[in-house]
Amino acid sequence: MNLRTKEGLQAYAKAGSGNVAFLRFERGGLEQGPLSDWDIAVRDRSKALTICENQLGTSWLRIPRRYVIQHFFKWGQVDLLPVFEWNGVEYLDRESFWDGVSVSGDGIPRPALGHDAFIAWMTGLLWGARFNSRYTGFVKLGATEDEANFRSSLEAAFGGQLAEALYQLAAEGKASEATNMAGKLRVTLWLRRLRSSPLKTLKGVARHWFCELGFHWRTPYPWVGILGPDGSGKSSVIEGLTEKLKLSRIKMRSIHWLPQLSRNAETSTAVVTDPHARPPKSSFLSLLQLGKIVVVWWIAMARDLVHLRAKQSLVLSDRFYPDLLADPRRYRYGAGMGVAKWVFKLIPKPDRVIILHTAAETILKRKQEVAPAELERQLKAYHTISEDWGDRAVLVDCGQELDEVVERVFETLVLALAKRTR
């Protein structure tokens, strides 16, 4: 059962009667598109999780943050919102919200229009100083047709003068202009909550950051590496994975060889037709190369990848660092392999390593970029890497039809997601 069907939607709404309210769901001109997610306010967190599992089954990945419990299913994303907070600071009172919830004519429980529009507006402003332009009409509708709830929400969060300025922007269809006020809104909300409920506010902030630090310590999104010789179909498999993840809304960041440390760097898409054209570097330069690889990976981990995996997406490494062990000439490496193996132990390891592997004859029919003997050597090296990585590594026969290969790799990816679920 899933929420993309009318029957599934009605069954979920009925099972959650009195405990759920659908936000921004098919009202005020908003429509649920084929790739849309569901934001559902929940009154009782524990009860909501039970209802979700009973009605929708086990998700590929569940991330229980303080302010939202994210569920990623094959058919879509469902976010359960037990509170309305920014970094642990409440911006809308729960009791006021639930007093305004009612069941619409289509059987779907929805909040008061003013509350719904206010949440849609504040979520983007407070969390990211951004505004989704498709909500312009919806925010204006909430401000003009349910002025009482919309105004009271603004006043409770920001006080009279600032609330009045915000209301005028919303009522005039200029909600996007409030993005310039995001910093002021955060400071005002924080100070007002701290004055009115200091212990509650400090406790909420502490709980929020304790939870988020936990997700940075053990990231909910996995890191998966993919290896294989030229002609094994890595690019096609990655494209297939991207397509299969679309409905679930799970994001995937693909990294080729080394992470880019420059924010403006562009990943090369050039096709390598002769990976062994240039001679190896000297032993000294090769050792420096190993040092660079270690430093780049650790900087990327500390600066970007841990946060990325804690908040946004899984990471897929195409030809990550062990690839040098299988194909040193590609990377112009000219020092000893024993040194490289030892140095690579200093770099964090992904949760799973998928190695595309098959008979040399099959790959040579697709690409002949290296000599048959060299390809045989590389395949043996990839097999050795699989053995060295033990349970983390999965060998996938890439000699099958592409759809079968993608499905096998995808199954491994789903298992990696499931192991990160909390």
pLDDT of residue 250: 97
Whether 391 shows a pLDDT value over 60: the answer reads yes
Residue 319 falls in which region: left (phi positive, over 0), alpha (psi -120 to 50) or beta: left
Looking at the fold, whether 261 and 327 belong to one and the same domain comes out as yes
Same-domain status, 161 and 58: yes
**How many CA atoms lie less than 13 Å away from 285 in the CB half-sphere?**
8
206 and 248 in a single domain? The answer is no
DSSP-assigned beta bridge partners for residue 40: 22, 80
Q: Is 252 among the domain residues?
A: yes
Q: Is 89 a residue whose pLDDT tops 80?
A: yes
The pLDDT, as a whole number, for residue 421 is 85
CATH number at residue 30: 3.30.460
Residues 308 and 207 in one domain: no
Dig out the tokens for 339 from the structure.
């040194």
171 vs 266: CA distance, rounded Å: 42
Which of residues 216, 243, 259 is at a domain's end? 216
**CA distance linking residue 4 with residue 9, whole number of Å:** 7
| Residue 21 resides in a domain | yes
Q: Which of 189, 216, 243 is the last residue of a domain?
A: 216
Count of beta carbons in the 10 Å neighbourhood of residue 332: 18
User: Can you give the pLDDT at residue 268?
Assistant: 53
- At a CB cut-off of 8 Å and minimum separation 6, what does 290 contact? 335, 339, 340, 343, 344
Residue 50 has a pLDDT of 96
Q: What is the mean pLDDT of residues 83-88?
A: 97
β-strand pairing of 223-227 with 352-357: parallel
pLDDT of residue 369: 80
Instruction: Give tens-digit pLDDT for 311-324.
Output: 999 999 999 999 99
Q: What is the pLDDT of residues 236-248, one digit of tens each?
A: 999 999 999 999 9
Domain boundary among 185, 216, 247: 216
Are 349 and 416 within 8 A, CB to CB?
Answer: no
Statement to judge: residues 245 and 211 lie in one domain: no
User: Minimal CA–CA distance to 39: which of 78, 90, 73, 97?
Assistant: 78
Average of per-residue pLDDT values in the chain: 95
Residue 77 has pLDDT above 60, yes or no: yes
> Taking Cα atoms as reference points, which of 120, 350, 383 lies closest to residue 229?
383
Domain that holds residue 230: 219-420
DSSP 234-287: HHHHHHHHHHHHTTTT-EEEEEESS---STT--------S-TT-SPPPPHHHHH
**Nearest one of 273, 257, 274 to 265, comparing CA atoms:** 257
16 pLDDT more than 80: yes
Regarding whether 120 and 83 lie in a shared domain, the answer is yes
pLDDT surpasses 90 at 3? yes
Kindly report the number of other CB atoms within 10 A of residue 57's CB atom. 12
Report how far Cα 239 is from the mean position of its chain's Cα atoms.
Answer: 17
Domains in the chain: how many in total? Answer: 2
The Cα–Cα gap between 83 and 208 comes to 12
Both tokens assigned to 96? 């006021």
The Cα 236–Cα 177 span in angstroms is 43
Q: Assign residue 88 a region (left: φ > 0; alpha: ψ between -120 and 50; beta: otherwise).
A: left
Cβ contact 253:348 at 8 Å:
no
Give mean pLDDT, residues 316-335: 96
Q: Smallest Cα–Cα separation from 174: which of 152, 153, 145, 144? A: 144
User: Which pLDDT score is estimated for 386?
Assistant: 96
Q: Which helix (H) or strand (E) holds 217?
A: helix 198-217
Is the model's pLDDT at 219 over the cut of 80? Answer: yes
1 located within any domain: no
Query: Under 8 Å CB-to-CB from 383, ≥6 apart: which residues?
Result: 355, 357, 395
The average pLDDT across 333-345 equals 96
